[in-house]
Every structure is written in C-alpha cells, then in structure tokens.
Amino acid sequence: DGGITQSPKYLFRKEGQNVTLSCEQNLNHDAMYWYRQDPGQGLRLIYYSQIVNDFQKGDIAEGYSVSREKKESFPLTVTSAQKNPTAFYLCASSEGAGTEAFFGQGTRLTVV
C-alpha cells in the first residue's frame, strides 16, 4: 500500500541533544512538508521541499534542519538550538499544486 510513514511515533529527548525524525513516502510525490503542531493549535510550516536536493524554510525554521537526498525521504532534525521542541510533528507529501497533501501519523516529541 502506498503511503507516508513517520517514525518513531513517540520520541523523548534530553535537553541539549539533537534528534532526527524520519519521514518516508512511496507515493512518488515531488513535494514534501514538515509541520509543527502545539496542543490545541494549528499546523505551522517548518520546511518544505519541491524537488530532490532543494528545500525552503517555512515560517518557523529556526532550530530545525532538513535534507532531501532522495525523493522518498525528508528527515527533520530538531537541533539543540530549538528552544521549545516539545510538540507534535507532522510530515506530508503531495503530487502537485492542485492536489491534496497526504499526511503521516505524526511523531510526538517530548523533551525531558
């Protein structure tokens, strides 16, 4: 079955550590996105990519980094520079501008 997979589902991190969230899709989509969601809030765009080896900052990119070495994969690293990383992170992909984005199940990151 085609889809988008995020792992892990739950992640705990100590303060000062970097952590990488995985996002893989087998839908052959060009565009991929990372969002952050805080409790009771909307989705805020962190980074997005429309093609391999290229990506753009979203609205809240500070403290995060991404790579897009393969079409299928768009990992997100939450660095120690991110002051308040505890949140729900959602990855999405889409085929083109006029089509809906498909979402993964999300990763809930908690800093302990």
For the record, the structure tokens of 69 come out as 């070495």
Among 21, 76, 90, 109, binds another protein (CB under 8 A): 90
Residues binding another protein: number (CB under 8 A): 28
Q: Binding to another protein (CB under 8 A): which residues in 32-51? A: 33, 35, 40-45, 48, 50
| Alpha helical stretches, state H, 1-112 | none
| Nearest alpha carbon to residue 19 among 65, 68, 73, 52 | 65
Of 3 and 26, nearer to another protein (C-beta) is 3
Nearest residue (CB) to another protein, 60 versus 79: 60
CA distances from 13 to 17, 108, 109 (A): 7, 11, 7
| Cα radius of gyration rounded to whole Å, the chain | 13
Where on the chain is the footprint of another protein (CB under 8 A)?
31, 33, 35, 40-45, 48, 50, 56, 58-59, 88, 90, 92, 94, 97-103, 105-106, 108
